[in-house]
Structure 1
Amino acid sequence: MLKTIKVGDLRRNSAEMITDVQNGDQYVLTSNGRAVARVVPVRDDERWMHNRDEVAAALSAAASDLDELAELVEVARRSEAGADL
């Protein structure tokens, strides 16, 4: 069930909200009438699961050529470091 909770209500009812979330409910946190965050049970958070097949295929392909994998990791590391400059 999707519920909405205001920031002020969250401060007063955080234990109740956590219990609800552990039981499968989801919350949208609002501030000044605007949705600012969503609180969902961890098992429902599929950020890392939506492309599981693609990740598995990439890891499988990379495992066949560890030198190429090491090179890709180094390129990614350098580009990430450069993005922070």
Structure 2
Amino acid sequence: MDKEMSLKNRDRLIQLGITISTFRKYRGLSQEQLAERASVSRSLISSIEAAGIAKSFSLEVFYNIADALEIEPATLLSAPTQFDNLLKQNT
């Protein structure tokens, strides 16, 4: 059961990293700019966004990233549906 949960969480962390990367690019930000706005290192942003890598990070960092992207934290968790809706609103 523990292994099953860690695989599930791994997939969630990978999806969250993809979502953060997608929103960052949508906002026209580099990893360096997002890191500066979120008060974290660029290497942390890079490892969070890295494809196929499940990088865990604190809730504080999660909130800082959401604030830096100017979106609600829940939006990051409910993507890709929320991202699709955002794109539709802005087209």
TM-score bracket for the superposition, by shorter chain length? under 0.3
Larger % of helix: which? 2
Structure ranking higher on relative contact order (CA contacts 8 Å, 6+ apart): 2
The TM-score, its normalising length taken from structure 1, stands at 0.27
Larger radius of gyration: 1
